[in-house]
Structure 1
Amino acid sequence: MNNHRQRKEMKEDTLKKVSNDAKRKVLVVEDNQLNREMLAEILSDRYQVLTACDGEEGLRCLAEHYQELSVVLLDVCMPVCDGYEFLERIQGDSLLSSIPVIVMTASSRQETELKCLELGAVDFVIKPYNPQIVLGRINSVIKLRESARILAAVEHDELTGLYTRQAFFHHAKTLFKLKKEEDFHVVVADVKDFKLINGSYGATAGDKLLCYMAKAYQGFIRHGLVSRYGSDQFACLIYGQPEIDKDKIETYIREIADHAPIPNVTINYGVYMHIDKTLPVSAICGRGFMAIKNIRGNYESNVSYYTAEMREKQIRSRQLENDFEGAVANREFVVYYQPKYSVGTEKIVGAEALVRWQKPDGEIISPGEFIPVYEKNGQIVKLDEYVFRRVCCYQRRRMLQGKELIPISVNLSRASLHRSGTVMRYVEIVKGAEIPFSCVPIELTETVALYSDRIRRITEALVRTGFLLHMDDFGSGYSSLTSLNELPFSTLKIDKKLIDYIEQPKGKKVVQQVISLAHGLDMKVVAEGVENSGQVQLLKEMKCDAIQGFYYSRPHPEEQFTAMADQEI
């Protein structure tokens, strides 16, 4: 890394020397020929002067020479494209807008000055021109800004020499304009677990890997641009070929990984072919990275191709996010109850609260669609509490009606469990409803309940206040026996994935051992996802305590569940 710093300092020293020795360039955008020639004469002794007769020509000249320009002198009143429009149009491009603009106007109105300043102008020159004032203003502005040569240097990433992200955006937009008939494609790359690579092999080895990748991608692109898009991400814009051959690109990707300076490195790629050039370049690259998200956790493939379905899924997710607050306010989220049946009596002994989304037009949205979205963006915290409040209100109504209360368990997500103040809020909700804590057990999935000091403190706080804790989905993933030993669960729920194999010899032994283990730890056992009589019979023989599943009952809306419960209790 010291070598990179030394090279950077040498480069800057060289550029400063070049900037000081050479004449700086100034662009004059003025529609009046006499004024244009007058300014050129005033400036020519100190500067190289480029001129444009209107704003449109000025924009073209700026785009072509921005790397060399130190300042733009811009007339406000011009045909075709006036000064205001000129300033507005360069604001969308970070490279063009980095060149300082001095506005020239015959108007002394404060409104004119304020508007130009709001649009990014840095100073003013009043007509008719005073040569000393013009030169003084230009000199002052240049002293406050980096030289044009230094500006050019920041286009390139210091480590890899590739375009920076902002420079990539600028040049991509320029290419789109120059090659309107061309088909463009984008390939983005993301090094998996790059922080782990740096931690294991050191930062120098990580830098070596990034430089290797940069060189490889530059060799791959004949017509296009390559950028270091992020710390461990790259973006390639390709044109000059109607399609990207999938077999060739996957072969090339394997070769890059095989010859990488770090063994077994995984690089994920997202490919967006036939891009929509009307989109911002950031959105175009975003579609490539969207494709990468589609293969996270997939160890069989590290290349994904953007499809319209991905875009539709993204739009759908955003719609679910945007509709969430309104759905909560309108109580569109409806609580369903799935009964739990005693193995011995085959009577309802409890239930689990499950949420469904019923829109005003009758559409039912599956929790499998909206729960992952809300878990990702954090809205699940509010949804958890919404469901918990609804269940507490239901139990309150039953109590006021003099009906027997049966425990209705409510799921608590990882986000809710880790949010500060959750225990206190849930305690206040139960106390406000004036119901027993035992009638609203809390269910934690085994992944949420993986043992840690923080989880232990939170679960102990819940139990101290009177809540019962159930471990949900046991056997669906990484089942932590430490969690069973250390955390105060009263009930263990065996996941459907284990129950599905209960009628096979090995599956039967596994379920029997889980039940025996739970009973040995003084926990009750509920089997989830039970669907046939053979499974029920085996669970009876294994002394399972309760069963939840389609064999006995699907989840029901409140009214139907109440009728079932009242009939059996």
Structure 2
Amino acid sequence: MSALHDRIESDTDSRVQRLERRLERERKARIDAEAVAEAGLRELYISQRRLKLLHKVTVAANSPGGLRQSLHAALEEICTDLDLACGIAYTVTDGGEAARAIDLWFSAEPSRIFDFIELSREAEFAIGEGLPGRVLADGKAHSLEDTSQAADGEGSALAFTAGLGSGFAFPITIARETVAVFEFFCRKMIHLDPPLRALLEQIGVQVGRVFERERSRQVLLHEARHDALTGLPNRIALLERIRAAAIAGNDDALVKIMVVDLDGLKGVNDLMGHHAGDQLIKTAARRLEACVLGHQRSMLNAGGSSCVSRVGGDEFIILLEGREWIDQARGLAEKMHRALAESEGLLPGISGIAASIGIARLEGTGDLDQLVRNADVAMYAAKERGGSTTVEFDESMRDTFRFRDELEKELREAIRARQFLLNFQPIVEAADPNVIVGFEALVRWQHPQRGLVHPADFIPAAESCGLILYLGDWVLEEACAAIARLNACGGRGADRYVSVNVAAHQFLSASFSARVGELIMRKGIDPANLRLEVTEGVAITDAKRTREVLEQIRAWGVKTSLDDFGTGYSSLSYLQQLPFDTLKIDKSFVADLDDKRSQQIVRTIVELARSLDLSVVAEGVEDAMQGELLAALGCDYLQGYHYGRPLAESEAFARL
């Protein structure tokens, strides 16, 4: 019995021990599971907190305040969320070679780290120096786990003294380019584990968008205030400078402006193309700037300032502020003439740059627009004197400007009131001048006070103020209506054409060919009865666009003429490329037919036309001898006062 009892007790103890071991294992497993769950929850909490921080920084970066406000908000969010003592922003300068503080920082306890913050306001780090320099070196986040051991000089010593035991810095990036650095310090030790590094990288990208927006804003502001070709200030920036000087209202704020307009740029564009013209404008801009800066250096301590601007086309305006400047404006203009005239550095075939300069003066608070207009008037007076000269504005010139201003107003009213009419000049066969093959439509202005005004007296003004588009469209529509009436008469009028001159802006506009097609359909005319004339200057302003328009209208059956042939610079090269039907020899050659050289020019033009299968019209024929000689030289058609002056429609068409 005793042995049995001992065995039973032994079995019982063994089961108890096994149960206890089992319970211990279960307890440990439960503890381990709870630890894993707690770690997972902690990681989830940290992850959610960091995501929340990234969201806060993103919101801060996209705040509407501006660069500094957005950066300060981002620093505050990072410091607050990660329990950091302070944060400092640096921008990257010197082409990525240094990080420079911009006096932008955040601290929840600024009084405790005052000395450190003061030192950081003007801190600058080269590549490899300090935390910002190490970030610049490789574009990655770096930490400093013990500021007392750092060898970065006074900044680290002050950080340690202020109780800032460790720190870290990371890059602010735009497409992997480091544009700024954020640096932070804290009182506790901080370790940049992989998740935190990933978070800082994302923050760097988000804050980088602030810099990207600022860059875009600065580019837009610069483009809005500067000329794209030369980089000089434009009219907007210039008027702001003039306005600021005028508002100052003292003797030192006296203002003169010089309008510099390049002479002969159109010839360069025609002869060598617009790329060459652009190069000439850029060269002129550099020379004008250098001339003004050199003159300014020679004035030593003289007060005032200057500004060179390009206001469009081949026109520059130089602003001179201060009494010393305006007293020397004339001498500066002469230096400009000499500087522009130098041939060195210009394209082959260009010996120098000539310019017409107009000068006007503003004292006190005057009309700024009037100031510019006065200088323009003086500049045009310089051009009328042959160019390459300088004219200062005086009151006697005001009448000239007033006349031009009034003429523009009258032209606008004339278009509104339909005060224009068309005359028609006959074009005849050279072999038989009694046969009229067509008419050229010529616009006249029926002025209510001055009577019939010749186009030479108003077309240039219409072109300069942009009204030529309206006037040209009216001429085209009226000419098409006249063709419809001519065709309705039957007989010889059915196959006679009307030729219409087309201005450059009108011909090269995007809607021109469609407008021609619309008028042909609406007026119900035969396209062969309409002929469009463009000058060489129009044709080579934009050769590609010219060819497109010519091909479109010729596909409908409309014929085209190249007017004033022989007066341009690139006739032969462009003539092969552009599909014209007729050449019109300029009247200047006809007027000089008693000169053997003019006869040879006409003969050459005729031979060239024959080789290209083009007909030839000679205009400006004043007498029978000229007509006979032109016929003998091979011209197909003739036009001029000898065969009929421009007449009203009814009189002209009655000649048929």
What TM-score results when the alignment is normalised by the length of structure 2?
A: 0.53
Find the aligned partners of 2:277 and 2:532 in 1 and give their Cα distance: 40
Q: Residues 168, 296 of structure 1: CA spacing in aligned structure 2 closer, same or farther, 3 A cutoff? A: same
Of residues 315-324 and 489-498 in structure 1, the stretch that sits farther from structure 2 once superposed is: 315-324
Q: Residues 307, 540 of structure 1: CA spacing in aligned structure 2 closer, same or farther, 3 A cutoff? A: farther
Which of 321, 329, 332 is 2:419 aligned to?
Answer: 332
Confirm or deny: 8 A CA contact 1:441 1:468 kept in the other structure.
Answer: yes
| Cα deviation, residue 520, structure 1 | 2.9
**What is the identity, as a one-letter code, of the residue corresponding to 1:454?**
R
Aligned to 1:478: 569
Find the aligned partners of 2:293 and 2:100 in 1 and give their Cα distance: 22
Give the gaps of 5 or more residues in structure 1.
14-19, 22-158
| Cα deviation, residue 282, structure 1 | 4.9
Find the aligned partners of 1:444 and 1:305 in 2 and give their Cα distance: 37
Report the 3-state secondary structure (helix = DSSP H, G, I; strand = E; otherwise coil) of the residue aligned with 2:642.
coil
Confirm or deny: 8 A CA contact 2:499 2:532 kept in the other structure.
Answer: yes
Aligned to 1:397: 485
Aligned to 1:64: none
Cα deviation digits, residues 376-433 of structure 1 (max 9, x gap): 3432222222111111212222333335322110112221221112112111211211
Q: Residues 513, 214 of structure 1: CA spacing in aligned structure 2 closer, same or farther, 3 A cutoff? A: same
| Cα deviation, residue 526, structure 1 | 0.9
Confirm or deny: 8 A CA contact 1:443 1:471 kept in the other structure.
Answer: yes
Aligned to 1:46: none
Aligned residues: 413
Report the 3-state secondary structure (helix = DSSP H, G, I; strand = E; otherwise coil) of the residue aligned with 2:490.
coil
Find the aligned partners of 2:461 and 2:587 in 1 and give their Cα distance: 23
Find the aligned partners of 2:537 and 2:281 in 1 and give their Cα distance: 30
Find the aligned partners of 1:412 and 1:387 in 2 and give their Cα distance: 9
Find the aligned partners of 2:433 and 2:280 in 1 and give their Cα distance: 56
Aligned to 2:525: 435
Find the aligned partners of 1:240 and 1:541 in 2 and give their Cα distance: 68
**What is the identity, as a one-letter code, of the residue corresponding to 1:480?**
S
Confirm or deny: 8 A CA contact 2:438 2:497 kept in the other structure.
Answer: yes
**What is the identity, as a one-letter code, of the residue corresponding to 2:601?**
V
The 5-angstrom pairing of residues 339-378 of structure 1 reads 339-347=426-434, 348-378=436-466
Aligned to 2:629: 538
Confirm or deny: 8 A CA contact 2:307 2:320 kept in the other structure.
Answer: no
Find the aligned partners of 1:529 and 1:326 in 2 and give their Cα distance: 32
Cα deviation digits, residues 209-251 of structure 1 (max 9, x gap): 73652341464599874321526642225658998896x6665
Confirm or deny: 8 A CA contact 2:93 2:100 kept in the other structure.
Answer: no
Which of 507, 510, 519 is 2:598 aligned to?
Answer: 507
Of residues 460-469 and 438-447 in structure 1, the stretch that sits farther from structure 2 once superposed is: 438-447
Find the aligned partners of 2:442 and 2:500 in 1 and give their Cα distance: 8
Find the aligned partners of 2:442 and 2:652 in 1 and give their Cα distance: 12
Report the 3-state secondary structure (helix = DSSP H, G, I; strand = E; otherwise coil) of the residue aligned with 1:361.
coil
Find the aligned partners of 1:212 and 1:11 in 2 and give their Cα distance: 37
Of residues 519-528 and 351-360 in structure 1, the stretch that sits farther from structure 2 once superposed is: 519-528
| Cα deviation, residue 535, structure 1 | 1.5
| Cα deviation, residue 189, structure 1 | 5.8
| Cα deviation, residue 260, structure 1 | 12
Greater CA radius of gyration, 1 or 2? 2
Aligned to 2:371: 284
Aligned to 2:244: 170
| Cα deviation, residue 295, structure 1 | 4.9
Q: Residues 279, 394 of structure 1: CA spacing in aligned structure 2 closer, same or farther, 3 A cutoff? A: same
**What is the identity, as a one-letter code, of the residue corresponding to 1:555?**
P
Which of 456, 471, 476 is 1:388 aligned to?
Answer: 476
Which of 536, 546, 553 is 1:455 aligned to?
Answer: 546
| Cα deviation, residue 530, structure 1 | 1.3
Which of 497, 503, 518 is 2:609 aligned to?
Answer: 518
User: Does 1:498 find its partner at 2:589?
Assistant: yes
Find the aligned partners of 1:511 and 1:265 in 2 and give their Cα distance: 32
Find the aligned partners of 2:452 and 2:95 in 1 and give their Cα distance: 59
Aligned to 1:236: 320
Q: Residues 289, 215 of structure 1: CA spacing in aligned structure 2 closer, same or farther, 3 A cutoff? A: farther
Aligned to 2:578: 487
Confirm or deny: 8 A CA contact 1:475 1:497 kept in the other structure.
Answer: no
| Cα deviation, residue 481, structure 1 | 2.0
The alignment's C-alpha RMSD in Å is 4.6
Aligned to 1:216: 295
Cα deviation digits, residues 175-226 of structure 1 (max 9, x gap): 45x699xxx7725264969x989969999x9779736523414645998743
Find the aligned partners of 1:506 and 1:397 in 2 and give their Cα distance: 43
Q: Residues 546, 267 of structure 1: CA spacing in aligned structure 2 closer, same or farther, 3 A cutoff? A: closer
Report the 3-state secondary structure (helix = DSSP H, G, I; strand = E; otherwise coil) of the residue aligned with 1:427.
helix
Which of 244, 252, 256 is 1:186 aligned to?
Answer: 256
Find the aligned partners of 2:634 and 2:285 in 1 and give their Cα distance: 56
Cα deviation digits, residues 113-166 of structure 1 (max 9, x gap): xxxxxxxxxxxxxxxxxxxxxxxxxxxxxxxxxxxxxxxxxxxxxx99xx9763
Percent identity between the two aligned chains = 24
Report the 3-state secondary structure (helix = DSSP H, G, I; strand = E; otherwise coil) of the residue aligned with 2:539.
coil
**What is the identity, as a one-letter code, of the residue corresponding to 2:650?**
E
| Cα deviation, residue 533, structure 1 | 3.0
Which of 414, 419, 423 is 2:504 aligned to?
Answer: 414
Find the aligned partners of 1:198 and 1:385 in 2 and give their Cα distance: 31
Report the 3-state secondary structure (helix = DSSP H, G, I; strand = E; otherwise coil) of the residue aligned with 2:538.
coil
Report the 3-state secondary structure (helix = DSSP H, G, I; strand = E; otherwise coil) of the residue aligned with 1:349.
strand
| Cα deviation, residue 458, structure 1 | 1.3
Report the 3-state secondary structure (helix = DSSP H, G, I; strand = E; otherwise coil) of the residue aligned with 1:326.
helix
**What is the identity, as a one-letter code, of the residue corresponding to 2:320?**
C
Aligned to 1:145: none
Aligned to 2:202: none
Report the 3-state secondary structure (helix = DSSP H, G, I; strand = E; otherwise coil) of the residue aligned with 1:356.
strand
Give the gaps of 5 or more residues in structure 2.
1-91, 104-116, 119-230, 266-274, 311-315
**What is the identity, as a one-letter code, of the residue corresponding to 1:472?**
D
Find the aligned partners of 2:504 and 2:370 in 1 and give their Cα distance: 31
Find the aligned partners of 2:646 and 2:301 in 1 and give their Cα distance: 59
Q: Residues 235, 428 of structure 1: CA spacing in aligned structure 2 closer, same or farther, 3 A cutoff? A: same
Confirm or deny: 8 A CA contact 1:270 1:290 kept in the other structure.
Answer: no
Structure having the larger proportion of residues in helix: 2
| Cα deviation, residue 256, structure 1 | 6.2
The 5-angstrom pairing of residues 37-48 of structure 1 reads none
Confirm or deny: 8 A CA contact 2:355 2:387 kept in the other structure.
Answer: no
**What is the identity, as a one-letter code, of the residue corresponding to 2:593?**
I
User: Does 1:469 find its partner at 2:585?
Assistant: no
Q: Residues 206, 309 of structure 1: CA spacing in aligned structure 2 closer, same or farther, 3 A cutoff? A: closer
Confirm or deny: 8 A CA contact 2:255 2:363 kept in the other structure.
Answer: no
| Cα deviation, residue 562, structure 1 | 2.8
Q: Residues 307, 411 of structure 1: CA spacing in aligned structure 2 closer, same or farther, 3 A cutoff? A: farther
**What is the identity, as a one-letter code, of the residue corresponding to 1:340?**
I
Report the 3-state secondary structure (helix = DSSP H, G, I; strand = E; otherwise coil) of the residue aligned with 1:345.
coil
| Cα deviation, residue 374, structure 1 | 2.5
Find the aligned partners of 1:285 and 1:174 in 2 and give their Cα distance: 19
Confirm or deny: 8 A CA contact 1:209 1:262 kept in the other structure.
Answer: no
Cα deviation digits, residues 484-508 of structure 1 (max 9, x gap): 3333322211001221222211111
Cα deviation digits, residues 58-107 of structure 1 (max 9, x gap): xxxxxxxxxxxxxxxxxxxxxxxxxxxxxxxxxxxxxxxxxxxxxxxxxx
What TM-score results when the alignment is normalised by the length of structure 1?
A: 0.60
Find the aligned partners of 1:307 and 1:369 in 2 and give their Cα distance: 25
**What is the identity, as a one-letter code, of the residue corresponding to 1:186?**
K
Aligned to 1:155: none
